[in-house]
Amino acid sequence: MNALVGQSGGPTSVINSSLAGVVDACVKSPKVKQVFGMRFGIEGVLGNDLLDLAALDAATIKGLRSTPGSALGSSRLKLKEEHFGPILKQLKKHDIRYFFMIGGNDTMDTIHRVVEYAQEHGWEMTGVGVPKTVDNDLHGTDHTPGFASAARYVALSVQQAGVLARDMQRVDQFVIFQTVGRSAGWLPAASACVRHSNGDAPHVLLLPERAFDREAFLNLVADKQKKHGFVSIVCGEGITNADGSPVSASATRDRFNNIEFGAMGGTSAAMMLHRMLSNEFGWRGEFQVTESLQMCAADRAVKLDYDEAYGCGREAVRLALKGEGGVMVTIQRTSKPKEPYSATFGTAPLREVANHERPMPDRYIAKNGMDVTSAFLDYARPLIGPLPEYTALPKPRRVTSAASQ
């Protein structure tokens, strides 16, 4: 029987490692005759744009394990009823019995709907999802492949920008870093892992799980700037006001009805916060919106992330060959806080993953809503790995010259 694999949604630094895991496991199984890759997600099935992945040489598959981006190409096509007939026709044409997709919530929904349609029309097929998202908001898993590397990118960026802001505080009084992530604050929260001593950036975290409170935000910013001479702020792109409107003021939506915070011609949350602080305090400052760089920075990727992404791909094939379909592979942490990190694989039903998001739990968010707790740091630090600690000169003491004595 033949297998089909695709990638969908936003890329990550390690999504191709998952692809390599699927291909390796399929090629080595006597139950799989051929493994095809769909170009540009489900659009590749509709357009009969398939790649024979089993024909790739070993060096190419190995190279995928450390290549960022989405090697097969991605898609955000939202399936409509008229798509399912042509998709099933292609699945039958290529004798596809194992169906894998690597992605997030919307991707899991795609797998579930395609397999359900096929089975309703007499075509037996096993579908298994491989988790992927830098947002870390997939239901049923401790964390997602892609998150650790993106979190490390954010943490290092905020740390290094914080050092610069500290040294330039007589010129710029604040710096704002915006992360991706529509409705979950896992990435902005990860920036707190770089703090080594009092006063280190970041000072204020704005998480989508908490409504933006302008007055409380301005008061906290003023307090932090007074204490440290500058203030470092990290915000999630999807932060909203109490009425649910985005702080970014973006109104552009994608095909899945998700707000596109980086849409051309729109504003960003960081830009709006910059205007707010400049108008309120008269300060100079800067905002940093790196968009997709967080999703493809292989130079900052985490080895654990690569390994788990590859393992998830192999596990998906193992499950499918056993006939365990309708699920997404999950990562289940087995170690306790303060213990060396360890984890195993599990599963979550595709239907549940597709219809639920996983925001940060309350126990990870500080009471003021603009910081994290020690419990979150215990969760995130083993994934991100060791972070550098930069040297800071001591504050100067008033020097008295010999002549004045």
List, by residue number, the catalytic residues: 135
| Residues in Cβ contact with 332 at an 8 Å cutoff, skipping those fewer than 6 apart | 141, 142, 343, 344, 345, 346
Name the residue among 169, 304, 314, 142 with its Cα closest to residue 227.
169
Which strands form 285-289's sheet, in the order they lie side by side?
A: 204-206, 231-236, 174-179, 285-289
User: Sign of torsion, CA 218 222 223 228?
Assistant: positive
Q: How far apart are CA 86 and CA 59, in angstroms?
A: 34
Going by their DSSP bridges, the two strands 327-333 and 343-349 should be labelled as antiparallel
Assess contact for 305 and 149: CB atoms under 8 A. Answer: yes
| Residues in Cβ contact with 347 at an 8 Å cutoff, skipping those fewer than 6 apart | 140, 319, 324, 327, 328, 329, 330
- 3-class DSSP state of 286: strand
Q: How far apart are CA 174 and CA 285, in angstroms?
A: 5
**Structure tokens belonging to residue 257:** 């009805």
User: At which residue do the structure tokens 């990562």 appear?
Assistant: 331
Say what angle helices 214-228 and 269-281 make with each other, to 10 degrees. 70
Return the exposure string of 305-331: e unless at least 16 CB atoms fall within 10 Å of the residue's CB, then b: bbebbbbbbbbbbebbbeeebbbbbbb
User: At which residue do the structure tokens 């999504």 appear?
Assistant: 15
Q: How far apart are CA 358 and CA 108, in angstroms?
A: 14
